Chain A
């Protein structure tokens, strides 16, 4: 196992390099430049735009820019943002705590709903509970988050006036009040994201459990006189986990990457909104840094998932 891990980690390095090269090329070729705001303003002479392009190194060939980016990156210099002219790592670090809190909580919420509901629904397929859970799940993923978010705002902020809908990273309150305010402002975005995610998770869990629930070994376990609870938890769930682990591993990088739409709706200063702002402003150093960290996480969690498969099902070999 150790040798396998080491080998995989070594493979990860060139594969990340390859990914970074492709990312860089895509970003360099993608249309747009960081100076669109100046375009319709007659007071900004075109020479300024040209001078800035040159000083940001935008006129160099792509390969030159890539090599420069890579060598700086290796030395720990992530470059500076064209839009705010401050270091990219500072910018990202400002956003990480909020993102981890909001998106992380929503993922936990999603799992807390999806696992029990999915398993329970699968043990009683086509029962009333199963039907209701399924229908709600369908509603959940048929409605995009821009829509559910707005619905919640209209109900809970505009009509009932219970929660604020503008998320503030620097709450003025302290102590218990701070926790209370935090709860009030975070509950809607976490709910929107969590329920959306829970809807699809529930369907996957239900399907995975259904796949194993009628296999012979489960019947055998029941025949041995084991309690229903033990059978469900020990024998069914563990074996149904492979698709679930795959999905969670797919979603984990998003905990860092944030949720663009929901962050926009609730004005959450997360990585997602940083990324979308950077993309709209063509702020390449920021986009590159965020996507590259994201790519690293994708690769790492894929590796973790592979290791977990082996643990869940010892017959999966990695030789």
Chain B
């Protein structure tokens, strides 16, 4: 589709001659994904769709209690300290951002009156300014009105390094100005194609200045509101026991008419994913359970009772394998897997290519993840606009054997291939999680048939994902030949996500292994494409650049993507919920109801 055609279509949508839905369909037909198509509309001044859950109740309240089960219990309720999804989910009950992301990756206004666009003057042509209009008449739970001051304060609070807010990445490089009582202006230093970061989604929750004003910076821990949140959300705080239970009641002054439906809310934490699914699907003790990383077979069996159902929505998270091209077994300047070294065998692209052929992605999806993941050869899969159409995967042991034969790796007496005395024996590490251990076994077996020996290693997740400098088992140290994990793509835009493929982010001793490029593989073209994408305002060209970064790494077979993960939740049959892969589960809690 040419640019002119697209412009023509957009014009027709504006005139009303073409429905949004058919626009998206037409766009999808030419490989333009819904989220992107929507963004395109937004960028060109077409109003965003309403939330995709139609709300049926005709009055607020009367829905009785809503009981949610999070198998990891929330421990704090300040959205800017929320370290994990569990805390973000809990904070989102009380606090709201200006806009949230729905399941198609569209921006949906929450505290904003409308989504900024070029047409409404919200987006400047140079890509350096965003003007947000705040919805009038919104009140905090204590009755005070929400104003632009609260939004400006939220920026000051999160941007202050002394506060050490986890959301600081969205705020530290911007400036926020108050235009009038209900309008703010976000100013970027550079043209920023992806502007919907500050005040949007999990990082965007606005906090009341009159409760947090005195507790900015180093005093942030002392704020009483950290434990007794005062927000604008559909439910008001009642009680909280960290690590156990959170209760809330209906906000009778909620700013959306006839919302919300439930009278009280309970969020219980603890336990494990399987039994959480059981409590919803089999016994119905709870209405909703989140993040069910459980083998699909188990879930399907629980669903047969008819009490509950599973919902899976796409997300940008990707389960993948890194092949280490540096040498993890030789220490140079106090670190292993240093970029100064070369892996004896994995630095050979032929070996990596063979390994990529030995991963039975279809079986992993079919027999282990089920609805929890979609087999893929591309690192970025969502929004589909950014997915490479070129990358394909294949499971072919014969072909792998042939590649290795041709490359001169001969089987020894023990059945393991070797060349120049270097054996194809690898340590394959991942975090402890039943589906991952099963995937490891499947890959190990295929490798065995190609004369490659894998030693499986599993590390407890709390160690694997830590930034502990002293520990050799963290995933950023990569003191193994290959490793597998999932990395999260927090927004429906892969720019920041792809920073794990750039040379200046290589994890090393120097940056205390905090660098985001864990594979340590670098490529000049990828670096250049990434830098160009950061400034490119044309959505198509920018997407092409980011796809290029992705393809360079996947085609080098350094990154072997396995599955594009979905977010899986369980609910009782009569609960209508709105679950998005681009925002937390409670992002649109106000619209949930019981039919």
Q: Per the CB under 8 Å rule, do A and B touch in the complex?
A: yes
Residues of A in contact with B (beta carbons under 8 Å apart): 29, 31-33, 35-52, 55, 80-81, 83-86, 91, 94-95, 153, 157-158, 161, 164-166, 168-170, 263-267, 269, 273-274, 277, 279-282
Q: Is the CB of B242 within 8 A of A32?
A: no
- The CA of A40 and the CA of B496, in the complex, are separated in Å by 12
In the complex, what residues of A have CB within 8 A of residue B398's CB? none
Q: Bound state CA distance, A46 and B514, in angstroms? A: 6
B75 to A267, Cβ gap below 8 A?
A: no
| B168 and A86 contacting across the interface, CB-CB below 8 Å | no
B181 to chain A, nearest CB (A): 30
A36 touches B282 (CB 8 A): no
Choose among B73, B241, B243, B465 the residue with the greatest number of A CB atoms under 10 Å from its CB: B243
Of the candidates A32, A164, A263, the one having the most CB atoms from chain B within 10 angstroms of its own CB is: A32
Is A264's CB under 8 angstroms from B283's CB?
no
Say if the beta carbon of B192 comes within 8 Å of chain A.
no
Q: Which chain B residue lies CB-closest to A40?
A: B487
Interface size on B, residues (CB 8 A): 72
* Residues of B with C-beta under 8 A to A280: 461-462
In-complex Cβ contact of A282 among B167, B462, B464, B475 (8 A): B462
For B285, the chain A residues whose CB sits under 8 A away are 157, 164-166
CB distance from B422 to the nearest CB of A (A): 31
Q: Given A49-B467, A55-B164, do A42 and B279 touch, yes or no (CB 8 Å)? A: no
Task: Sample 29 A-B pairs with CB under 8 A, ordered by A number.
Answer: A32-B462, A33-B466, A33-B467, A36-B463, A36-B465, A37-B465, A39-B465, A42-B488, A44-B168, A45-B168, A46-B467, A48-B168, A49-B467, A80-B221, A81-B75, A84-B242, A85-B81, A86-B76, A86-B242, A95-B244, A157-B282, A158-B278, A168-B245, A168-B268, A170-B245, A267-B275, A277-B73, A277-B243, A281-B462
> A31 to B460, alpha carbons, bound, how many Å?
10
Please, which residue of chain B has its CB at the minimum distance from the CB of A286?
B243
Expressed in whole angstroms, the Cα–Cα distance for A265 and B279 within the complex equals 12
Contacts of A47 in B (CB 8 A): 161
* Cα distance A47–B162 in the bound complex, in angstroms: 11
> Measured between alpha carbons, how far is A32 from B467 in the docked complex, in Å?
7
Is B511 within 8 A of A46, CB to CB? yes
Determine if B360 is an interface residue (Cβ-Cβ < 8 Å).
no
Contact indicator B243/A273 (Cβ below 8 Å) = yes
Asked whether B227 lies within 8 Å of A86 as measured between CB atoms, the reply is yes
Q: Bits for B437-465, please: 1 = Cβ < 8 Å to A, else 0.
A: 00000000000000000000000011111
> B residues within 8 A CB of A50?
512, 514
Given contacts A31-B463, A36-B467, contact A52 B278 (CB under 8 A): no
Give which listed residue, A37, A166, A266, contacts B83 with CB less than 8 A: A37
| Separation of A157 and B281 alpha carbons in the complex (Å) | 12
**Contacts across chains A and B counted by CB atoms under 8 Å:** 177
| A95 CA to B221 CA, complexed, in Å | 22
Report the bound CA distance from A32 to B269 in whole Å: 23
| A-B residue pairs, 7 tightest by C-beta | A46-B514, A37-B84, A269-B244, A84-B242, A31-B471, A36-B465, A84-B75
Instruction: Provide the bound-state CA to CA distance between A274 and B337, in Å.
Output: 37
B272 at the interface (CB under 8 A from A): yes
**CB contact list, B491-508 vs A, under 8 A:** 491, 496-497, 499-500
- Bound together, the chains give a CA A59 to CA B487 distance in angstroms of 27
By beta carbon, the residue of chain A nearest B468 is A33
> Quick check: B83 and A38 within 8 Å, CB to CB?
yes
Q: Whole-angstrom distance between the alpha carbons of A164 and B476 in the complex?
A: 42
Give the contacts of B222-264 with A (CB-CB under 8 A).
226-227, 239, 241-245, 247
Q: B461 touches which one: A31, A36, A164 (CB < 8 A)?
A: A36
Q: Which residue of B lies closest to A164 (CB)?
A: B285
Known: A39-B476, A44-B166, A83-B76. 15 other contacts (CB 8 A): A38-B166, A39-B475, A42-B487, A42-B496, A46-B512, A48-B168, A84-B76, A84-B242, A85-B221, A165-B275, A170-B245, A264-B272, A267-B268, A267-B275, A277-B243
CB-based nearest B residue for A59: B469
B245–A32 touching, CB < 8 Å: no
B136 within 8 A of A: no
Bound complex: CA of A94 vs CA of B246, how far in Å?
A: 13
The CA of A265 and the CA of B271, in the complex, are separated in Å by: 6
Contact of A85 among B76, B168, B203, B486 (CB under 8 A): B76
For residue B69, CB closer than 8 A to chain A, the reply is yes
Residue of A nearest to B73 (CB): A277
Chain A nearest Cβ from B79, distance in angstroms: 13
Residues of B in contact with A (beta carbons under 8 Å apart): 69, 73, 75-76, 78, 81, 83-85, 161-162, 164-170, 172, 203, 218, 221, 226-227, 239, 241-245, 247, 268-272, 275, 278-279, 282-283, 285-286, 461-468, 470-471, 473, 475-476, 485-491, 496-497, 499-500, 511-512, 514-516
> Given the complex, which residues of B lie within 8 Å of A168, measured CB to CB?
245, 268
CA distance A30 to B516 in the complex (A): 24
Q: Contact: A35 with B76, CB < 8 Å?
A: no
The one of B162, B462, B465, B496 in contact with A43, judged by C-beta atoms closer than 8 angstroms, is B496
* Chain B residue contacts of A33, Cβ below 8 A: 466-468
Known: A33-B467, A170-B247, A277-B73. A48 touches B239 (CB 8 A): no
Residues on A with C-beta less than 8 A from B272 are: 264
Q: Is the CB of A94 within 8 A of B164?
A: no
CB–CB B168/A166 < 8 A = no
A153 to B278, CA, bound (A): 10
Closest A residue, CB atoms, query B282:
A158
Given the interface pairs A42-B516, A269-B245, the reply to whether A166 lies near B279 with Cβ below 8 Å is: yes
Q: How far is the CA of A46 from the CA of B164 in the complex (A)?
A: 11
- Give min CB distance, B462 to chain A, whole Å: 5
Smallest Cβ distance from B563 to chain A, in angstroms?
15
Closest residue to B81 on the A side, CB-wise?
Answer: A85
Q: Is B465 touching A31 in the complex (CB atoms < 8 A)?
A: no
Docked pose: A263 CA to B270 CA in angstroms = 9
- State A33–B69 Cα separation when bound (angstroms): 26
Closest B residue by C-beta to A146:
B272
Q: Which residues of A contact B162 (CB under 8 A)?
A: 51
B268 touches A83 (CB 8 A): no
Q: What residues of chain B lie closer than 8 Å to A170, measured between beta carbons?
A: 239, 241, 245, 247
- Distance from A118 Cβ to chain B, minimum over Cβ atoms (Å): 34
| Chain B residues, CB < 8 A from A153 | 275, 278
Smallest CB-CB separation from A46: which chain B residue?
B514
Known: A84-B76, A85-B81, A282-B462. A40 touches B243 (CB 8 A): no
Chain A's nearest CB lies how many Å from the CB of B568? 18
B81 contacts which chain A residues (CB < 8 A)?
A: 85
Among B241, B243, B500, B514, which residue has its beta carbon within 8 angstroms of that of A49? Answer: B514
Who on chain B is nearest to A158 by CB?
Answer: B282
Q: How far is the CA of A41 from the CA of B85 in the complex (A)?
A: 11
CA distance A3 to B501 in the complex (A): 71
A31 nearest in chain B by CB position: B471
